[in-house]
Amino acid sequence: MTRFAEKDTAITGVGLSDVSRGATKSALALTVDAALEAIADAGLTRADIDGIATWPGERADGSGFSPVGCAALQDALRLEVGWYGGGGEAPGQYGAVFNAIGAIAAGLCRNVLIFRTMCEATARKTAYANSLLREGQRQAGPFSGYAPYYTYAAALQQALFFNLYVHKSGIRPDQVGQVAVNQRRNAALNPKAIYKTPISIDDYLASPLIATPLRLYDCDVPIDGAAAIIVSRMDVARTLKNPPIRIEAIGSSMRYRNSWTQLAELDTQAQPKVAKMMWSRTDLKPADVDIAQLYDGFSFHTINWLENFGFCERYGAKDFIDGGHRIALDGELPVNTGGGAMSGGRLHAYGAVHEACTQLWGRAGARQVKGDPQICATSTSGGPLAGAMLLVRD
C-alpha cells in the first residue's frame, strides 16, 4: 500500500497571539507572539526550526488579509531554514501544511513553523478594505467575472451558493442558526474568543440580512491576530514534549473546476472530492471522529462539511443540527468547540487547528469535551478552495 507522507508528520506545538478587534501591536509582533508560543509549546528553540510556511503569503495591499510573509518572520526570528513556502495558489489555507508535509518527506526540514496572520480589524478602520473588488481599478483574476456586478465581498458570492443549498435542501433559518448559537455558547467558555455573550435562535433570526439567505450572524469576524503550529517529522515528534498529534490523512487537490462560478455542483462546492480523498488515505471512518472543527467563514460552510465529511447524509444536515444538541460540547459530535471563526475570530482554519490540538491535548479548560477526544476532523474554506485534515493524538 502506498505510504502516505502525512503519516510521517505530526503537530507538536501550537501558539495563538492575542485576538482582538483592534490590536495595539503590529501584525509582525502578533506573529512573533504566536510563533514563539508554538516553538516553546513543542519544547523546541528557534534553532530547531528549519522550515517556515504560510498561506497565502505576504499581501502588502493594506487589506490586512495577510500582512506577514515567511521572509519577514524568518528575519524577525533570525531563523536558519532549509525550506520555506507561501502563496495563495494552494488548495485552500491548509496548502501551507500540505507543502510542509512534502518538504519534510523530501528531507528539506524536520520542524516547520506554519502561521496565519490577519489584521483586518485594524485595516477596516483605516481604509476601505473589505472588498473583493476595488472601485476605480480594473479587476483581473478569478473574481474579474464578478467585477461589474457590485460583488463587494465574499459574502455575496457565497450567498449565491448558500441560497441554492437552501433551495435544494429545504433547511429552515432556525436550523441554520443553530451553528451560530452553538459557536457562541462555546465561545462563552473560551477566554480568547471575541464574542462571548450568548445568542438565541430569536437573536439569530433578528440579525440583519446581508444577502439572502445570509445573515450577519452567519458570518465570521474580522480580527487582528496570529496563529502558529509546528509540524514535525514523526521520529522527531516522538522525542518532544507533547504527545504528537498525527496528521492521519489529508484531502486537497483540484479534482473539480477551480472556479468561483463554474463548479460542477455549486451547492456542495469542492468539498465532496476533497473529503473522499481524505477518507481514502485512512482506515478511520466518520463514525470514529470525536470532534470536528469545520470551516465557518459562513455557517453554510460548516453545514456543508457535516454532509460532505459523511457525518450525515446529503441534505441531512438540517436534521443533524436541528435543536443544536448533537453538535454541542456534550453532543455526539461537538463542532467548533472554541467558538469558531464566527465568534472566536477569523484565523482562516488555523484557529480551528489550534482548537483541535487544544482539545486533543485536553487543555481546553471549561470547554474541554468530555471523554478524552482523540480524533478530530478539520477543514478549510469554500468555493474551489477546499482542504481537509484528520488529526489523531498519538
Partner 1 sequence: MVARTLPAIDRDNEAYWTWGREGKLAIHRCAACEYFVHPPVPFCPRCESRDVAPRAVSGRGRVVTFTINHKAWVPELSEPYVLALVAIAEQDDVRIPCNIVGCDADKVDFNMEVEVVFEQTEDLWVPLFRPVTA
Residues that bind partner 1 (CB under 8 A): 128, 130-131, 133-140, 144-153, 155-157, 159-164, 167, 208-214, 259, 261-262, 264, 266-267
Closer residue to partner 1 in complex, CB, 214/342: 214
Report the residue number, 17 or 169, with the smaller CB distance to partner 1. Answer: 169
Cα–Cα distance between 270 and 196 in angstroms, integer?
32
CB of 149 to partner 1, least distance (A): 5
Pick 157 or 308: Cβ nearer partner 1: 157
Q: Please state, as a whole number, how many other Cβ atoms lie within 10 Å of the Cβ of residue 143.
A: 16
Contact 65, 118 (CB under 8 A): yes
C-beta of 257: minimal distance to partner 1 in Å?
9
Smallest gap, in angstroms, from Cβ of residue 146 to partner 1? Answer: 5
Nearer CB in complex with partner 1: 153/284: 153
> For partner 1, which is the closer residue by CB, 205 or 209?
209
Q: Which of 226, 248, 233 is nearest to 48 (CA)?
A: 233
Please state the closest distance from residue 185 (CB atom) to partner 1, in A: 26
**Helix or strand (DSSP H, E) at 14:** strand 9-16
Burial class (CB in 10 A: 0-12, 13-18, 19+), 157: buried
What 3-state class would DSSP assign to 181? helix
Burial classification of residue 203, based on how many CB atoms lie within 10 Å of its CB (0-12 exposed, 13-18 middle, 19 or more buried): middle
Classified as helix, coil or strand, 388 is strand
Comparison of 134 and 281: residue with beta carbon closer to partner 1: 134
Measure the CA–CA gap between 381 and 318, rounded to whole angstroms. 20
Calculate helix-pair angle for 299-308, 154-169, nearest 10 degrees: 50
- C-alpha 236/C-alpha 200 separation (Å) is 46
Residue 261: CB minimum distance to partner 1, A: 5
Among residues 13 and 384, whose Cβ is nearest to partner 1? 384
Minimum separation from the CB atom of position 69 to partner 1 (A) = 25
Upper half-sphere CA count for residue 61 (Cβ side, 13 Å): 16
Smallest gap, in angstroms, from Cβ of residue 327 to partner 1?
Answer: 26
CB of 16 to partner 1, least distance (A): 30
Closest to partner 1 by CB, 153 or 188:
153
Cis peptide before 56 (omega within 30 of 0): yes
- Written as one letter, the residue type at 147 is A
Residue 9 contacts by C-beta under 8 Å, 6 or more apart in sequence? 100, 101, 104, 231, 232, 233, 234, 237, 246, 247
Give the H or E element holding residue 379.
Answer: strand 375-380
